[in-house]
Amino acid sequence: MAVSRIPTAALSLKQFLQRQKVLGLYRDLQRTIRKVPLEPDRQYLRDWARDEFKKNKTETNPDVVRMMITQAHNHLEDLRKSLALAGC
């Protein structure tokens, strides 16, 4: 009998792709936060983003994760619009 080389904890393709979306969104959020002009505001946003992503990292329901990705995209777009209006 052949033994599978895939670890039992391996992600499915859908899970892997969703994870990549989440990580890309986190990176985009951090890059955008770097453009905030005031350091206290940058630090607050950095801490907020880190806490939100850490708080939800154990979520496994794909529908809930999809909803959180949508909400994070909305927050990111709001931040980008605010920075554009501020001329940053």
Q: Which residue has the tokens 């599978």?
A: 4
The pLDDT value recorded for residue 60 is 85
Domain locations in the chain as residue ranges: 14-86
Residue 2's pLDDT band (cuts 50, 70, 90): low
Name the amino acid, one letter, at 33: I
Q: 14-72: per-residue pLDDT in tens? A: 888 999 999 999 999 999 999 999 999 999 999 999 999 999 989 888 899 999 999 99
The reported pTM is 0.80
The DSSP symbol for 5 reads: -
User: How many other C-beta atoms lie within 10 A of the C-beta of residue 36?
Assistant: 19
pLDDT above 80 (res 12): yes
The pLDDT value recorded for residue 15 is 85
pLDDT above 90 (res 88): no
